[in-house]
């Protein structure tokens, strides 16, 4: 419990958490069609040249610029090359009808687009000489044979899937999916679909965390709601830790006598509990339960959401083998006033305002309470307010969009 008493900054907490994260060792080969969101486990090197041959960028005529006079030229069409077939060497004084993607025949050094010439019988009339190299896509201008096209640690988006396919890969090597076991503590928590008795609330964290984990491509096992009781918490924790790489919980992580996460994790492993000088979300627990990573999030819905985005997401990404785990943020002028300086760093739910002239500013939700999940729905990202600081209207503030915080 070395870090228990110390209050950490958000940066220190993230640094500590990441120091415990390491990439999974198991690699699997999957169909390139299924690679979306997965992390590449080995560099991909191309065995082919893309495009394989010089080819036409236009529908038109492949020509030899040496056949042209300074003014109008009339040249005979001697062959036709659609995409997928190969022509033969251009005879002097002739041109080839050619289509987009078709290989440039030997002897041709430019393509004239069909819009720039006129056909008369079997001849084509060109108003002016073309420039050598015009409308030719060169062999290898996208990818050379032997080139590393994708680096290990990168995540597949649609365009990486396409690029892997463009070098002919049927399968790609990726890290296996991270298995995350979830459970939720609280005698007051019930599942939607169940009747809500007095004093009870619905388990919204389950849905928020499922969405966040699925967005990161994790395999989730849900162990449900666990009552505020030590033995019950230990029992579920033991089972969850057997089946997962990471056990993630919400609630019960403070030091009240109804909070059992800390004692439960210490029974089956060890725990570092960190108080983080941030708002929302002060307590965050990290430890190992039977050798499995454990992260305990606070129960308040906004705290759970924000701490997941800022801490758990990069931790998971690091475990998934991703090389870049830090979200990008931008400085934008505040369209609000913040005159409540606090000792803790605040992460406000915020959204962009685009003005008539296209200038962008950022506004914040009026109620920043840690139970106000509507603020996260209204918002498009988080604004960071440094410790002990105020913000005047128009001052630059750091905005991190949810697009950088929610998904892979
Ligand atoms: P705790 O961290 O257990 O002290 O809970 C803090 C607050 O979050 C309490 O108001 C809880 O009712 C609420 N809370 C805890 N777990 C959940 C959950 N799964 N869904 C929604 N609210 C929760
Ligand atoms: Mg509780």
pLDDT truncated to tens, each residue of the chain (408 aa)? Answer: 444 557 899 999 999 999 999 989 999 999 999 999 999 999 999 999 999 999 999 999 999 999 999 889 999 999 999 999 999 999 999 999 999 999 999 999 999 999 999 999 999 999 999 999 999 999 999 999 999 999 999 999 999 999 999 999 999 999 999 999 999 999 999 999 999 999 999 999 999 999 999 999 999 999 999 999 999 999 999 999 999 999 999 999 988 889 999 999 999 999 988 899 999 988 899 999 999 999 999 999 999 999 999 999 999 999 999 998 999 999 999 999 999 999 999 999 999 999 999 999 999 999 999 999 999 999 999 999 999 999 999 999 999 999 999 988
Tokens representing residue 353 in the block: 């305002």
Tell the residue nearest (CA) to atom 17 of ligand 1.
Answer: 299
What are residue 103's phi and psi, to 5 degrees? -65, 145
Which ligand has the nearest atom to the CA of 250? Answer: 1
Atom of ligand 1 nearest to the CA of 256: 4
Q: Strand 60-63 and strand 148-150: pairing?
A: unpaired
Instruction: Give the class (CATH, top level) of 7-26+177-319.
Output: alpha beta
- In this structure, the residues whose C-beta lies within 6 A of any atom of ligand 1 are 184-186, 188-189, 201, 203-205, 250-254, 298-301
The pLDDT value given to residue 253 = 92
State how far the Cα of 195 lies from the Cα of 202, in Å rounded to an integer: 10
The third-level CATH classification (topology) of the domain covering 35-49+144-175 is Molybdopterin biosynthesis moea protein, domain 2 (3.90.105)
Pocket test for ligand 1, best of 201, 258, 261 (most atoms within 8 A of CB): 201
State how far the Cα of 221 lies from the Cα of 177, in Å rounded to an integer: 13
Strand blocks (E) in 90-167? 94-98, 110-113, 117-120, 123-126, 136-137, 148-150
Atom of ligand 1 nearest to the CA of 228: 3
Which ligand has the nearest atom to the CA of 283? Answer: 1
State how far the Cα of 114 lies from the Cα of 98, in Å rounded to an integer: 9
C-beta neighbour count of 26 within 10 angstroms: 9
Residue boundaries of the structural domains of the chain: 7-26+177-319, 35-49+144-175, 55-137, 330-404
Sign of CA dihedral 381, 386, 389, 395: negative
Pocket test for ligand 1, best of 250, 259, 281, 376 (most atoms within 8 A of CB): 250
Q: In angstroms, how far is CA 205 from the centroid of its own chain?
A: 22
Q: What does DSSP assign to residue 116?
A: G
Distance between Cα 53 and ligand 1 center (Å): 62
* Contact status, residue 292 vs residue 237, Cβ threshold 8 Å: no
Instruction: Give the class (CATH, top level) of 330-404.
Output: mainly beta
List Cβ neighbours of 61 (8 Å cut-off, separation of 6 or more). Answer: 75, 77, 95, 96, 97, 98, 111, 112, 114, 117, 124
Distance between Cα 3 and ligand 2 center (Å): 22
Distance between Cα 181 and ligand 2 center (Å): 19
The pLDDT value given to residue 3 = 44
State the pTM of this model: 0.91
- With tokens 């931790």, the residue in question is 315
Distance between Cα 370 and ligand 1 center (Å): 10
What are residue 387's phi and psi, to 5 degrees? -60, 145
Query: Could you tell me which of 391, 397, 359, 365 has the C-alpha nearest to residue 380?
Result: 365
The pLDDT value given to residue 351 = 98
The pLDDT value given to residue 384 = 98
Q: What does DSSP assign to residue 312?
A: I
Torsion of CA 307, 311, 312, 314, to 10 degrees: 140
Atom of ligand 1 nearest to the CA of 203: 20
Atom of ligand 1 nearest to the CA of 298: 2
Q: What does DSSP assign to residue 121?
A: T
Tell the residue nearest (CA) to atom 6 of ligand 1.
Answer: 299
Distance between Cα 36 and ligand 1 center (Å): 33
The pLDDT value given to residue 372 = 98
Report the SS3 class of residue 256: coil
Atom of ligand 1 nearest to the CA of 253: 2
Bridge partners of 92, per DSSP, are none
Tell the residue nearest (CA) to atom 5 of ligand 1.
Answer: 299
Tell the residue nearest (CA) to atom 20 of ligand 1.
Answer: 203
Sign of CA dihedral 379, 365, 344, 289: negative
Tokens representing residue 186 in the block: 């609280």
Distance between Cα 219 and ligand 2 center (Å): 26
Strand blocks (E) in 82-192? 94-98, 110-113, 117-120, 123-126, 136-137, 148-150, 171-175, 179-185, 189-190
Q: What does DSSP assign to residue 194?
A: B
The pLDDT value given to residue 1 = 45
55-137 is a CATH 2.170.190.11 domain: yes
Tell the residue nearest (CA) to atom 23 of ligand 1.
Answer: 299
Distance between Cα 189 and ligand 2 center (Å): 9
Which ligand has the nearest atom to the CA of 284? Answer: 1
State how far the Cα of 265 lies from the Cα of 283, in Å rounded to an integer: 15
H-run or E-run covering 319: helix 313-319
State how far the Cα of 219 lies from the Cα of 244, in Å rounded to an integer: 9
Bridge partners of 398, per DSSP, are 331, 384
- With tokens 């399968």, the residue in question is 171
């Amino acid at each position: 419990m070395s870090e228990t008493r110390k209050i950490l900054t958000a940066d220190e907490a993230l640094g500590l958490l990441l120091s415990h994260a390491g990439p999974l060792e198991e690699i699997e080969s999957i169909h390139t069609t299924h690679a979306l969101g997965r992390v590449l486990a080995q560099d991909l090197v191309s065995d082919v040249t893309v495009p394989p041959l010089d080819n036409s960028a236009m529908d038109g005529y492949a020509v030899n610029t040496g056949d042209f006079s300074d003014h109008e030229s009339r040249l005979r069409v001697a062959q036709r090359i659609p995409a997928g077939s190969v022509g033969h060497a251009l005879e002097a004084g002739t041109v080839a009808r050619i289509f987009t993607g078709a290989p440039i025949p030997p002897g041709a050094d430019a393509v004239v687009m069909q819009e720039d010439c006129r056909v008369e019988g079997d001849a084509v009339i060109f108003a002016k000489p073309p420039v050598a190299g015009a409308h030719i896509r060169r062999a290898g201008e996208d990818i050379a044979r032997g080139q590393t096209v994708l680096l290990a640690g990168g995540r597949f988006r649609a365009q990486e899937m396409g690029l892997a396919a463009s070098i002919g890969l049927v399968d790609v090597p990726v890290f296996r999916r991270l298995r995350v076991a979830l459970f939720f503590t609280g005698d007051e928590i019930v599942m939607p679909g169940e009747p809500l008795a007095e004093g009870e609330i619905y388990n919204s964290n389950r849905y928020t965390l499922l969405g966040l984990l699925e967005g990161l491509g994790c395999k989730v096992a849900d162990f449900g709601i666990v009552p505020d009781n030590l033995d019950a918490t230990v029992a579920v924790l033991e089972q969850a830790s057997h089946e997962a790489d990471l056990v993630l919980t919400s609630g019960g992580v403070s030091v009240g006598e109804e909070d059992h996460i800390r004692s439960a994790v210490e029974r089956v492993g060890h725990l570092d509990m960190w108080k983080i000088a941030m708002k929302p979300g002060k307590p965050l627990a990290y430890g190992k339960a039977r050798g499995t990573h454990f992260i305990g999030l606070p129960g308040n819905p906004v705290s759970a959401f924000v701490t997941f985005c800022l801490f758990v997401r990069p931790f998971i990404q690091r475990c998934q083998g991703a090389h870049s785990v830090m979200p990008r943020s931008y400085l934008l002028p505040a369209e609000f006033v913040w005159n409540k300086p606090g000792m803790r760093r605040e992460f406000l739910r915020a959204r962009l305002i685009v003005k008539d002239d296209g200038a962008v500013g950022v506004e914040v939700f009026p109620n920043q309470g840690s139970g106000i999940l509507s603020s996260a729905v209204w918002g498009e990202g988080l604004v960071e307010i440094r410790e002990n600081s105020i913000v005047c209207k128009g001052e630059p503030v750091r905005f991190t969009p949810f697009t950088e915080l929610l998904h892979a």
